[in-house]
Amino acid sequence: MKKYCLLLILFLCLAKTGDAQESNPNYDAALAEKLGGDDYGMKGYMLVILKTGSNTSTDSLKRDSCFRGHLANIMRLAKENKLVVAGPLGKNDSNYRGIFILNVGTKSDAEALLATDPAITEGYLAFDMYKWYGSAALPEYLKADDKIWKNKP
């Protein structure tokens, strides 16, 4: 019985240690709140995978205008802190063209932002969208990003 009690005490101690969460000595509650982070420093975003759309028009002036508007829209959304990641993908068999990570938590909010992109509204680009859970600090990289490009895209 004594052996059984010792094993039970050891098991309970190990189980309690496994439940313990390590506290972050660098935790900044004000920053976490400002960025919308949960207890793990994470939050919800919308991941958008851009792909080739159904518009196969050969009107190069219209197409060029839509893609200039696409880039201007990217810059505007980034400035408004609604778009935290954007970039093209390399050539691939799935016709994926690029990604966005939108700083919104709902599909309807993301769709409203995508509706402001002329390359999407004119059908040159289409998209797939997914909820994504990532670091709430992701938007903070934009402060450094604006200081490292030499030539405007």
Q: What pLDDT digit, counting tens, does each position of 25-80 carry?
A: 889 899 999 999 999 999 999 999 999 999 999 999 999 999 999 999 999 999 99
User: Quick one: how far is CA 30 from the chain centroid?
Assistant: 22
Out of 3.30.70.1060, 1.10.3720.10, 3.10.290.10, 3.40.1050.10, select the CATH number for domain 42-144. 3.30.70.1060
CA torsion, ordered 41, 141, 52, 66, to nearest 10 deg: 130
pLDDT band at 5, cuts 50/70/90?
very low
Whether the predicted pLDDT of 131 surpasses 50: yes
The mean pLDDT value of the chain amounts to 88
Task: Find the DSSP H helices in 20-138.
Answer: 29-35, 60-79, 107-114, 118-121
Q: In angstroms, what CA-CA distances link 43 with 92, 139, 150? A: 30, 11, 31
pLDDT (0 to 100) of residue 150: 84
The full set of domain ranges for the chain reads: 42-144
Average of per-residue pLDDT across 117-124: 98
Residues 6+ apart with CB under 8 A from 76: 116
pTM: 0.80
Least confident of 15-24, 34-43, 115-124: 15-24
Whether the predicted pLDDT of 89 surpasses 80: yes
The pLDDT > 90 percentage for the chain reads 70
Please give the residue that has the higher pLDDT: either 32 or 118.
118
Whether the predicted pLDDT of 10 surpasses 70: no
CA gap 37, 41 in Å, rounded = 5
